[in-house]
Amino acid sequence: MSSQIKNICCIGAGYVGGPTMAVFADKCPFLTINVVDLNEERIKAWNSDDLNKLPVFEPGLDVIIEKCRNKNLFFSTEVEKYISLADIVFISVNTPTKTKGIGAGKASDLKWVEACARQVAKYSSGYTIVVEKSTLPVKTAEVIKTILEASPKNQEKASFDVLSNPEFLAEGSAINDLENPDRVLIGGENPIAISLLSEVYKNWVPEKKILHTNIWSSELAKLTANAFLAQRVSSINSISAICEATGADVREVSRAIGSDTRIGPKFLDSGPGFGGSCFKKDILNLVYLCQYFGLPEVANFWEGVVILNEWHQHRISKLIVKKLFGTISSKKIAILGFAFKANTNDTRESAAITICKDLIEEGALLLIHDPKVNPTQIAKDLGIDENKNNLMKSKNPNSPDGEWSFTDSIVNALNGADAAIVLTEWEEYGKLDWGELSKLMRRPSWIFDARSTLSPKKLKEAGLNYWRIGDGS
C-alpha cells in the first residue's frame, strides 16, 4: 500500500476517467478518489441510483460503481475543492482534433488540458503529482509543466511533478483491461514521483508489468500503439477489397497470416472501418508531429492509414447502392448497430455515421437499431433530426434526401425493408432467426454483413441475397 498517496482527484468523468477511477477505487480501498467534471449532467448520471443510467456502458462497471460509490469513490462538479485535497491529479479530459487555426484537422486541441493545468496550479496545495491520462501530442507534459510553474499558486509551498501515464484500455473491455493490463507505462523525470504512482498500481498490477520511461517516450508510445493497431485494421480492410475482387475470402487470409507468430491473430478482423475516439485522432496527431518536425514521408505513410479507412467506409456505401439496382431512393433499409464496436454505447468516429450519411444522401429511409446507443446521440452524429413518424408514410415525396428513424425492435426495423446492414458486431445479431425475419422483408431482399457476424448458410436457406465483407466467393 502506498503510504504518502491518500487522495486522488481525476479531472474528466468520461470514457477514460470514469472506468479508470472505478477500478482504482476498487483495487485501493484505502484511497479516496474524487472524479470531477464541469458537466453537471454527466456527474448526475454517474451518481444516478439507476445503474442503467451511468453515462458510460462497460461490462462490469455497474458492479464496481455500486460497490465503491460514496465509499471511496465520489463524483462531483466541485473541481477546485477536490484538486486542493489531492496528492495526485489525473488529467482525463477530452482532446479533440482542432477544427480551426494552425494544425486544423490534425493537431489536438489542448484548450481543456491547458485549462486543467491552470486550475491545478491555482488550487492545489503542497506537493502534487499531475498525471496526463488523456492521449496527448508528444511534449504536452512540457506545456503542463510550464503552466504549473508560471501560474499564480494557491500556496507559496505548492510544488509539482508531471508524469505521463497513458491509458491503453479499449472500450467494451475496459474493466478487464484495467484490472489485467498488458503493461502500465509511466513516463517522467523525478524517480520519486514515478515510484509513488507505481506504488498505487502495484496494489493489483505485477511489478514487472510497470514500465518506466522518459516522458516523451511514454507520450509517443501511446500514439504509436494506436497507430500500429489502426494500421492493422486498414491493412486487413484493404485486403478485403482485393478478396472481393479475386474470389478469395478475407477470413481465410486472416487465419493464414495470423498463424504466423510474428504477425499474430489479433486485430485482423475486416469490418466497416475503424472508429472510436482514439485511432483517427492519434494518427492525425502523429502526422502533424511528423510534418512539424520536417518528416513528410513519415507523415504521408501514417496518413495513408486514415485515408484508406475513409475510402473503405464509402466503398461499402457504394456497393450497397450498386447491389440494390443502382438506386436506394425511398427504399427502406435496416441498420443493425450504430456503436463503433460492440459492448459500448460510444459512437465517436463510428463507421455507421459515414455509411448512414451516404445512404441518406442517396435517398434511403433508414430504420436504425442499436441495443445501447440512443436516438439523441444518433441525431447529433448524423446532423439530421429523427423522423419519428412512420418513414414509409411520412416521407416528403418532393425531397430527394432520405430520412431516418430509431427503433428498439429488430422486427420493426426489418418489416418491409429491402435490405439490412450489420455495422456493429452485437452478439444478439448473430442469434437472429432469419428464417422468420426474411418473411417480413420486401423481395428481393439483401443482407449486408460488414462484421461477419451472420451465418451465410442460414441466410441462404432463408432465401436472402447476401454480401459479406471480404467474401469473394
Query: So which residues are the catalytic ones?
Result: 278
Q: Which of 13, 169, 186, 236 binds ligand ADP (CB under 6 A)?
A: 13
Question: Between residues 14 and 181, which has the closer beta carbon with respect to ligand ADP?
Answer: 14
The region of 6-14, 146-154, 238-246, 406-414 touching ligand ADP under the rule CB under 6 A is: 6-14
268's contact among ligand UDX, ligand ADP, none, with CB below 5 to 8 A by partner kind, is ligand UDX
Q: Which of 8, 9, 16, 450 binds ligand ADP (CB under 6 A)?
A: 16
Residues that bind ligand UDX (CB under 6 A): 167-171, 226, 229, 233, 267-269, 271, 274-276, 278-279, 340-341
Q: Does 280 bind ligand ADP (CB under 6 A)?
A: no
Closest approach, Cβ 149 to ligand UDX, in A, equals: 29
Q: Does 143 bind ligand ADP (CB under 6 A)?
A: no
Question: Between residues 13 and 420, which has the closer beta carbon with respect to ligand ADP?
Answer: 13
Closest approach, Cβ 450 to ligand UDX, in A, equals: 9
CA–CA separation, 367 and 355 (whole Å): 13
The region of 12-20, 221-229, 287-295, 365-373 touching ligand ADP under the rule CB under 6 A is: 12-20
Q: Considering only CA atoms, which of 33, 93, 41 is closest in space to residue 69?
A: 33
The pairing of beta strand 73-76 with beta strand 159-164 = unpaired
Question: Between residues 93 and 229, which has the closer beta carbon with respect to ligand UDX?
Answer: 229
Give the CB-nearest residue to ligand ADP: 14
Q: Does 134 bind ligand ADP (CB under 6 A)?
A: yes
168's contact among ligand UDX, ligand ADP, none, with CB below 5 to 8 A by partner kind, is ligand UDX
275's contact among ligand ADP, ligand UDX, none, with CB below 5 to 8 A by partner kind, is ligand UDX
Question: Between residues 13 and 359, which has the closer beta carbon with respect to ligand ADP?
Answer: 13
Q: Which of 4, 39, 159, 389 binds ligand ADP (CB under 6 A)?
A: 39
> Which stretches of the chain bind ligand ADP, using CB under 6 A?
11-17, 36-39, 42, 79, 92-94, 112, 115-116, 134, 277
